[in-house]
Chains A and B, each alone.
Chain A
Amino acid sequence: RHQSSQSTAVQEGLVAKTSLTSPPWPEVKLPDPAEEAKYHAEVVQKVNNMIAAGQYGRLFAVVHFASKQWKITSEDLIMMDNVLEAECGDRIRMEKVLLVGADDFTLIGRPLLGKELVRVEATVIEKTESWPKINVRFWRRHNYQKKKIITNPQTVLRINTIEIFPCLS
């Protein structure tokens, strides 16, 4: 007949309070899930109505483009340090949008927002090379020196518009 010391202690009364009886973080209580779901649905409906009515000022978006993240608004210039296979004057739609925000609301994507929700359009303006960057490696007293001049190709884009559509659920 085996009996656990913990069960006898529970039968006797309170367990002794040690440093491991309660977790080191303060106790948290989450709100009621049903009420929370109702509140969330209300907020989503309100934001949807605001978007449909057009009650937002300037929109900003966080876009993942050319392996970098950019925070962009409309009429904004962006310079990438590589080649884009599009001619000057081509309109481009940027699809990987991580975040869109206005003054009163933000839409956070997990991790991306849907394509039917946001539309970011840009035009290719200029394709140039960067200023000549000089790479020099030199070890003293070892007769070792190398000099290389690098010019990276660059592309300049102008962000034309950021649009959002009221299809939240």
Chain B
Amino acid sequence: MVLLSAPRWLRSRLSDRFWRVQEVLKYARHFRGRKNRCYKLAVRSVRRAFVKSTKARREKKRFLRALWITRIEAASLEHGLKYPAFISNLLKSQVELNRKMLADLAIYEPKTFKSLAALAQRRRQEGFLAALGDGKEPEGIFSRIVHHY
């Protein structure tokens, strides 16, 4: 005769519990305290660690850009220019180096950075001269002198 349902004394029990626990504990081995040994505490810590690393990957980009900006500001102040003036004048002279490159050049190629700062300074001065124009008063309409002949 064929038994269609399993008898009650037949249970399915976990045989690889050790490896399932090690999968989680291997990520917790460098933690401090009992959470690097005890599974119950480690599960919570490992999950928080993963979530934090996921969010940090998005914020790393913002953080690095702020770091580059700080470094470029420091380097351009050494050459007598402020950061907004430096960046805007470089972009107006069609030099499209990004902030990561400018920070690297400021650290490892100081002569090149000095020449870039000089370029930005010269473009700034040309901008000032262009803004001043001819130096004459603009022709008004109501302040024109009307001649009666």
Interface residues of A (CB under 8 A from B): 1-7, 23, 25, 28, 30, 60, 62, 69, 71, 98-99, 101, 103, 106, 108-111, 133-138, 145, 147
Please choose the segment from B10-18, B33-41, B103-111 that sits at the chain A interface, where 4 or more of its residues have CB less than 8 A away.
Answer: B103-111
A69 to B95, CA, bound (A): 13
CB-CB under 8 A from A62, the residues of chain B are: 97, 101, 105
CB-CB under 8 A from B145, the residues of chain A are: 1-4, 7
Binary contact readout B109-121 vs A (1 if CB under 8 angstroms, 0 otherwise): 1011001100100
Report whether A136 and B112 are in contact in the complex, using a CB–CB cutoff of 8 Å: no
Interface size on B, residues (CB 8 A): 37
- Which of A2, A23, A71 has a CB less than 8 Å from the CB of B105? A71
Q: Within the complex, what minimum Cβ distance (angstroms) separates B74 from chain A?
A: 19
Please choose the segment from B1-9, B49-57, B59-67, B76-84 that sits at the chain A interface, where 4 or more of its residues have CB less than 8 A away.
Answer: B49-57
A110 to B94, CA, bound (A): 5
5 more contacts with CB within 8 A, not counting A3-B143, A108-B119, are A4-B143, A28-B125, A71-B108, A108-B95, A111-B95
